[in-house]
Structure 1
Amino acid sequence: MVSRAHPHGDDDIRLLGDDSFEQSDEKDNLISFDDTSGLRHRGPSSSHKKPLSAARSVSPSSAQDSPKGPVVAVFVVVFDAKQGNRIEWSHTVDGSVDIGGVEYKALPSGAHTVSSDSLTFKIGSYYGVAYFRTETDKSSARGAVFRSCGLLGRRLEDIVGFRTVLQSELSQGKHSTGDYHVLEDLVGGRSDFVDNAFTPVMERVNKSEIELMHDNKIVRDFCTLLGADIFRLWKCVLLRKRILILGTPPFADLCHIAHLCSLIGNYDISSPLRPDYNLLLYVDLNDIDKLRQSKTFVACTSELIYQLKNDCYDVLIMKNQLHIQDPALQRTCLTSAMEKENFSELMHDYNLRSSIMHVDSGRFDATEFVGGYFTALNEKILSAFHAADCTAEQTIADSALEDLSLNPASDVPFLQALANMHCPSIRVQRQPLCPQCHLC
């Protein structure tokens, strides 16, 4: 294992200056913290992947895949008024773990606008989680010091449970003494915070009611503000488009929304095409070339320059609106009157289930609920593909689309595009569009 102190940053740095992040008006933020009514979910129940917040256990096979534990590197990043973002200290499982670039992920553009926050990201083949805070320091050129503490792991679900440990370490001011033995012990699974199955102990602790209520509000507001367009987003996710969420801090909220966007494309039913949507989470300016070259991803950012980088994404979610650039994709991913009705029912079911859980003193998880709703729809569609593939005609009649919660007139192009990805031999019958609205 290798520990390093980093007295100097790289020459190629990006300053976290006051003008590097333009804070939007509160009404333009991606998340609008108002008291709009929540939404609920409709559809057949289905087993689905739990959100990252859910407690999980590591199977013996996954433990064998990670014999040294889930954490491969820990680090502390600081912003220096002269040098910019730099790695102050790091410890890796071996010298082969490259953490270059983590100094920009762990202290993102706009970090100076919040007192503390956390975020998740992907760098190379590893996932990362970091917690940062602003510390008052009158001797500093800016009157404050921006510092972040984070770690890297092989799988995101294995490391998010350590967020509380990172927050504790940074809050205790360990940087002043250089005593990072708690962080060092996380690498290789030698920590009291890791059990024999390499599972973060903190991950087995349920979220507090306050945390769960906050996450539920994030999901509720995002869905409510998007409205029926959440079904257009759902179609874009299933078609594996490049989806970028542009917003302002809190960064934890942005990352939670990115996670939700990937969840709505989940399915557990057998298919040659697995639901791997390249979840990048937070991205910065150093990821521009990566996004251009990627065929599919779900990511979020606070870098406003991405508004001008149209070649970096297919779908942009900004200021509570969904922007699809390609006219052909716009026609493929329409929102019909039927889906507006579906969304109303979704909101009704959401509110009903939330109220029932509240009365029964249960815990309602909006992320799991909304993800489960779309997982059920996805599996219904894939089951229809499998059934059609077993027939001689290998055809899905347009009249069957309504049973799939799709519009028989306007959603044929979408269903055909999706069928081409999973079962290329299937053909979806088409009926003429309404000459008046081209939707119903």
Structure 2
Amino acid sequence: MAADDRAPLLKHDENEFDPFETSRKNLRKLINSNEGAPSETISISGSASVTTLTELDNIVAVFVVAFDIRSGNVIEWCVPDDTDLDGVEFKAMVSGSHTQDTDFVYFRKDNYYGLACFENMRIQSEIERGCRMKSVGILATSYTTLYRHMQFLETQVRHLLETPGKYMQLKVFYDDRKGVIPLNEITMDGLRPSPLSTPSTPSRDLLPEMKITHPAGCFSQFLQFFGNQIFVLWKLALLQRRILFFSPPPIGIVCYRVYCACCLGHHNITNIMGQNPQPHFYVNVADIEALENEVSYIACTTEKIFESKTHLYDVYVDNQIVKVNSPGLKEILKVSDADKDKAVQLNNQRASHRFEVEELGEEQGFDEEDVFTNFFVEMNDRIFQMLLEISNSQDRQLTSDHMKTMGLDPQGDRSFLMELVEHYGIDVVLMVDNPCCPK
């Protein structure tokens, strides 16, 4: 992948204050030069109160994965040293990584989420067969803050490739950023406050609303890549189908597609069963047994063998080609006229929001994630709210006018709507007839 394609995804929010950023910059500067104190003694510190008032990292482990010519992928080092990292060596260094110079990957390990940065360095060594490959990663209780540490992990993997065995900076990082595993319930996208919280432990209810944020450019590239097909993915995500993205490495950008696809299905209607979609991110053959028991997931892989295992997924996305197994879902693959209208509406909202921000002279404040997620949340809320209202009416009849009000095509989206009301158990009578000549 060209550097220009990858760079926007690695751009951090310049307006977000990170108390550790100055220390990380100093650390990177010292790594890249031999001036100053020995890098092994550097302390990465920051204001605990500031990090508490944003969102806690809750990092539970830091690790290094290396490729050994005899043993393959191995956990070279980790802290705490008793952390269960079984299988992480094949997630942090994905299948096909050897074809790349650099990459990054998001993944899930049990109830934790991980981020690892990979680098393949060419060296003059017959023993290592001309290359040295490592990944440096972290595990946390939530995926929503992992991106903050991307640059640090990239710096550390280069540091360890050039000076193997020097782990002190990672140890200091862990000591400063480690989180205490709470007794309260751990969810897939964060932590719910415990009813047993004491005054010394601030309740999450008192903190600012958690905002799921990934690097700038994530959503614009998602829209560019799939075009109007994002509304096909939207329908499949809203139906809570098992969606698997396939792509050869690099996998980092595909992890962002997983995240964006999850955002398509979010809503705020509490009377609807099931939770908002949660990302699995990267999966490999070791996850097959776990995936067999999942009724809904969104994930990605570099392993082509998954394509033949059709019982593991409902939707297989091979780059820009979307495939389904069920005949009932094939009609949903067609982009309807209403989908094209929604695409225009979304692009107009993005352009309008950007114009307003630029007019105020706050171009850096343009938040494409908010525009994107709000568009789909509002659309999903409108659809579910109307379906619930109709189900509570006397005749429970859902007409073409209702569908148009929901932003759906009475003919092109009929199959989708039938799947939707059946999946969520919404009791309505669909009064829209099948067209005699389907498009």
- Report the TM-score, using the length of structure 2 for normalisation: 0.73
Q: Give the aligned partner of residue 142 of structure 1.
A: 129
Measure, in 2, the Cα distance between the counterparts of 1:33 and 1:163.
Answer: 17
In the alignment, is the contact (CA less than 8 A) between 2:100 and 2:250 conserved in 1? yes
CA distance, structure 2, for counterparts of residue 216 and residue 129 of structure 1:
19
The one-letter code sitting in structure 2 at the alignment partner of 1:242 is: R
**How far is 1:216 from its partner?**
5.0
Residue 176 of structure 1 is matched in structure 2 by 163
* Deviation at residue 353 of structure 1 after TM alignment: 4.0
Rounded Cα–Cα distance in structure 1 between residues aligned with 2:102 and 2:347: 32
Secondary structure, aligned partner of 1:340: helix
Shift of 1:304: 2.0
Q: For 1:79, which of 67, 76, 81 is the aligned residue? A: 67
* Alpha-carbon offset, residue 219 of structure 1: 2.3
Tell me how far 1:143 sits from its aligned partner.
0.9
> Residue 223 of structure 1 aligns with which residue?
226
- State the SS of the aligned residue for 1:305: helix
Matched position secondary structure for 1:184: helix
Cα 1:280/1:427, change in 2 over 3 Å:
same
Question: Residues of 1 paired with 2:354 and 2:251: CA distance?
Answer: 26
1:109 counterpart = 2:95: yes
How far does the alpha carbon of each residue in 1:190-224 deviate from its partner, in whole angstroms, 9 at most, with x for none? 3069899899xxx99x99xxx63x43552232232
Is the alpha carbon distance of 1:240 and 1:216 closer, same or farther for their aligned partners in structure 2, counting shifts above 3 Å?
closer
1:49 is aligned to none
Matched, 1:248 2:248: yes
The one-letter code of the counterpart of 2:134 is R
Measured after TM superposition, the shift of residue 135 of structure 1 is 1.9
- Aligned position for 1:303: 303
* 1:43-54 equivalence runs, <5 A: none
- Local SS of the residue matching 1:173: helix
> Are the equivalent residues in 1 in contact too, given 2:398–2:431 (CA < 8 A)?
no
Q: CA deviation at 1:71?
A: 1.4
1:121-270 alignment runs, 5 A limit: 121-139=107-125, 140-173=127-160, 176=163, 178-187=165-174, 190-191=175-176, 212=216, 214-215=217-218, 217-224=220-227, 227=228, 229-270=229-270
Q: Percent identity?
A: 24
Q: Report the alpha carbon displacement of residue 126 of structure 1 after superposing the two structures with TM.
A: 1.2
* Structure 2 CA distance for aligned equivalents of residues 279 and 184 of structure 1: 28
- Partners of 2:430 and 2:390 lie apart in 1 by 12
Residues 368 and 118 from structure 1, CA distance in 2 versus in 1: closer, same or farther, beyond 3 angstroms? farther
Distance 2:72 2:177 in 1: 34
What's the Cα RMSD here? Answer: 3.7
Structure 2: how far apart are the matches of 1:223 and 1:72? 35
| Change in 2 beyond 3 A, CA 1:249/1:357 | farther
Equivalent-residue separation in structure 2 for 1:233 and 1:292 (angstroms): 21
Give the Å deviation of 1:260: 0.1
Paired residue secondary structure (2:280)? strand
More divergent stretch after superposition (123-132 vs 135-144): 135-144
* Letter in structure 1 aligned against 2:93: L
Higher relative contact order (CA 8 A, sep 6+): 1
Aligned residues: 370
Evaluate the alpha carbon distance shift between residue 56 and residue 110 of structure 1 in structure 2; reply closer, same or farther with a 3 A threshold. farther
Counterpart among 409, 412, 429 of residue 411 in structure 2: 409
- Cα 1:428–1:142 change in 2 (3 A) is farther
| 2-structure distance, mates of 1:303, 1:144 | 23
Aligned equivalent of 2:340: 340
TM-score by length of 1: 0.73
Deviation at 1:154, TM superposition (A): 1.4
User: Would you say the 8 A contact 2:261–2:298 is kept in 1?
Assistant: yes
- Mind listing any 5+ residue stretches in structure 1 that lack a counterpart? 1-25, 35-51
Residues in 1 aligned to 2:219 and 2:358: alpha-carbon distance in whole angstroms: 13
Deviations 1:301-343 (A, max 9, x none): 1112222222221111113121122111113564322322332
CA contact (8 A) 2:219 2:372 kept: no
Per the TM alignment, residue 144 of structure 1 is displaced from its structure 2 partner at its CA by 1.1
**Within 2, Cα distance between the matches of 1:299 and 1:277?**
11
* Offset at residue 76 of structure 1 (A): 0.3
Cα deviation, residue 299, structure 1: 0.6
8 Å Cα contact 1:136-1:145 kept in structure 2: yes
Q: Which runs of 5+ in 2 are unaligned?
A: 7-11, 19-48, 181-200, 205-209
User: What are the residue-to-residue correspondences of 1:326-365 with 2, within 5 Å?
Assistant: 326-332=326-332, 334-354=334-354, 357=357, 360-363=361-364, 364-365=366-367
The alpha carbon displacement at 1:357 in A equals 4.4
Secondary structure class of the residue paired with 1:270: coil
- Contact 1:216–1:365 (8 Å) recurs in 2: no
**In structure 2, do the counterparts of structure 1 residues 355 and 383 end up closer, same or farther at CA, with 3 Å as the change threshold?**
same
